[in-house]
Amino acid sequence: MLVETRLARFESVCLDCGASLSPVEVAYETYGTLNAAKSNAILICHALTGDAHAAGISHDGDGGKPGWWDNMIGPGKAFDTDRYFVIASNVLGGCRGTTGPGSIDPKTGRPYAMSFPVITIGDMVRVQKMLVESLGIERLLCVSGGSMGGMQTLEWAASYPDMVVSAIPIASTARHSAQQIAFNEVGRQAIMADPDWRNGDYYDTRPPARGLAVARMVGHITYMSDESMREKFGRRLRNKDKFGFDFSVDFEVESYLRYRGSQFVNRFDANSYLYITKAMDYFDLSDGSGSLAGAFSRGDTRFLAITFTSDWLYPSYQLMDVVKALRSMNRDVAYCDLPSNYGHDAFLVDVGEQTELVRGFLASTCKLRA
């Protein structure tokens, strides 16, 4: 599947912080064909560091790299592009084509950097709604995503329930927990402690590569599980058979984290990392006392919630809270805690059972609506 990233442009968007942003550009890709009734559209939302390239092989650039959820989206896959029209876009505040802190502020002719307004998950979804409507789609058959993508999915169902026939949040939460905020704060502090960060004003010079790499290393640890790390690395040494008795790389796991950190710097903007993690931390669909029932009181969206047993970054109880709130209103909700050793990464890599769930749920959603 050869795909192409396109750009949609909107005059402006009002943000939760009170500011507005104009113009707004959104990078997006689509896969499959929109049917005549425009009733087969599915919106896929990406996680913290994802982008609009969710599936297929890029037409241009990217070295022919497959999309980040290519194992889930495509002909015959869970989100079957022979049947559904799939839309994926880069989030507001991102650095992969959609307007973010690295974009040029038309007022100054220079990158926004830290003058970019603080954004929320709600803002990201508002921009996605503009994109979806610009494609002539009034109702989405499904909104889905893992991690922060699942947060956007829940925000969609809470804010625009009439536009969402079904929702599949995966390995996600309706309110960021203290532990999740804590890890994000470590990542932000690593970036801001890098002298190259220069209060975000680094676009003409060196980016804060070391800080961003450390943030990514912390992230990667939280995406795996004790068991998956033990399996993947154990205590194996890297290209040596005894300790170096110095602080070069001894262990495989060190080498892996350093490699992942340094690779990340090439494709991600440190300021975007600050803004997007902040949006995640602000995310709370509850009424403040922890009750989620109010958030989902409107509409008749069907839900399929999926969690993974070894995911300690987004533990199963978080989506179970959402499911309980839905159940207290007797809403149509299916829930499965899939066994996996891959930790939070499971929704990206351990997709066999996830595929069966999504496929069956989408098919029954189509049948129910017919």
Partner 1 sequence: MPHTAAEPRRRSFVTELLGRSDYAIISDLVEPNSRVLDLGCGDGELLEWLVRNKDVDARGIEIDSRKVQRAIARGVSVYQSDIDEGLNGYPDGSFDYVILSQTLQETRRPLAVLTEMMRVGRHAIVAFPNFGHWAVRLSMLLSGRAPRSRCFPHAWYESPNIHFLTIRDFELLARDQGWTVEREIFLAGHRAGVRLANLRAEVAVFLVRK
Q: Give the nearest distance from C-beta 164 to partner 1 in angstroms.
A: 16
CB of 333 to partner 1, least distance (A): 6
Q: Which of 46, 53, 176, 344 is catalytic?
A: 344
* Cβ atoms of 31 and 72 closer than 8 Å: no
Residue 13's beta-bridge partner residues? Answer: 21
Residues 151 and 123: beta-carbon distance below 8 Å: no
Q: Identify whether the C-beta of residue 315 lies closer than 8 Å to the C-beta of residue 344.
A: no
Q: Is 344 a catalytic residue?
A: yes
CB 46 within 8 A of CB 148: yes
Active-site annotation holder among 250, 269, 311, 350: 311
Q: Which residues bind partner 1 (CB under 8 A)?
A: 302, 304, 323-324, 327-330, 332-339, 353, 356-357, 359-361, 363-364, 367
Nearest approach, Cβ of residue 106 and partner 1 (Å): 48
In DSSP notation, 171-220 reads S--SB--HHHHHHHHHHHHHHHHSGGGGGG--TTS---HHHHHHHHHHHH
Give the Cα-Cα-Cα angle 281, 302, 90 (nearest 5 degrees).
Answer: 45
Nearer to partner 1, 165 or 191 (CB): 165
Rounded Cα–Cα distance for residues 330 and 109 (Å) = 53
In the annotation, is 311 catalytic? yes
Q: What is the DSSP letter of 117?
A: P
For the question of residue 220 being annotated catalytic, the response is no
CB of 124 to partner 1, least distance (A): 28
If the CB atoms of residues 137 and 295 are measured against partner 1, the closer one turns out to be: 295
Kindly tell me which of 48 and 357 has the beta carbon lying closer to partner 1. 357
* Min separation Cβ 367 and partner 1, Å: 7
C-beta of 113 vs 358, nearer to partner 1: 358
**329/349 with CB nearer partner 1:** 329
What's the distance, Cα to Cα, between the start and end of the chain in Å?
A: 29
Task: Choose the catalytic residue: 147, 172, 316, 340.
Answer: 147
Closest CA to 272 of 46, 118, 154: 118
Q: Which residues pair with 186 in a beta bridge?
A: none
Active site amino acids: 147, 311, 344
